[in-house]
């Protein structure tokens, strides 16, 4: 089974702090994603990466950055956390085109961030 692991399930941070959210997948997927989930808004794409050291902005990248130094690891960084970044953050991965399961995102369990 594909496994996407988000190391921090619950975090509480103060406004202005730097926040790192880590995500690791163990199935050699090319593509990785960060979403945030807010009530009534569904899942919104923050950033994605289709290869090591490559990144692309999603729909709501403002206030976030990402890092992908290794294929299996994709990090989301909040340089200076703000209260409107309080949310559930979901990491996901998907294999490259042509691979089995290429059209289904597999999600991690989520990281609930509260910014005070």
Partner 1 sequence: DQQVKQNSPSLSVQEGRISILNCDYTNSMFDYFLWYKKYPAEGPTFLISISSIKDKNEDGRFTVFLNKSAKHLSLHIVPSQPGDSAVYFCAASALPNYGQNFVFGPGTRLSVLP
Instruction: Name the minimum Å distance from CB 113 to partner 1.
Output: 13
Write the binding mask 59 to 98 for partner 1: x where contact by CB under 8 A, - elsewhere: -------------------------------x-xxx-xx-
Residue 44 lies near partner 1 (rule: CB under 8 A): yes
Q: CA 82, CA 29: separation in Å to the nearest integer?
A: 31
- Residue 102 corresponds to which tokens in the numbers above? 């290429």
Residue 106 lies near partner 1 (rule: CB under 8 A): yes
Q: CA 49, CA 71: separation in Å to the nearest integer?
A: 10
Helix, strand, coil share of the chain (percent; to 5): 5, 50, 45
In the bound state with partner 1, the residue whose beta carbon lies nearer, of 17 and 71, is 71
DSSP run (H or E) holding 73: strand 73-78
| Contact residues: partner 1, CB under 8 A | 4, 6, 9, 31, 33, 35, 40-45, 48, 50, 56, 58, 90, 92-94, 96-97, 103-110, 112
């Amino acid at each position: 089974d594909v496994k996407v692991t988000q190391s921090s399930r619950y975090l509480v941070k103060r406004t202005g702090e730097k926040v790192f959210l880590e995500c690791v997948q163990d199935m050699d997927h090319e593509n990785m994603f960060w979403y945030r989930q807010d009530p009534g808004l569904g899942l919104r794409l923050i950033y994605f990466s289709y290869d090591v050291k490559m990144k692309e902005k999603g729909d709501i990248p403002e206030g976030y950055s990402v890092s992908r130094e290794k294929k299996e690891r994709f990090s989301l960084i909040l340089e200076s956390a703000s209260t409107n970044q309080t949310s559930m953050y979901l990491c996901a991965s998907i294999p490259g085109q042509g691979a089995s399961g290429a059209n289904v995102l597999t999600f991690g369990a989520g990281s609930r961030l509260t910014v005070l």
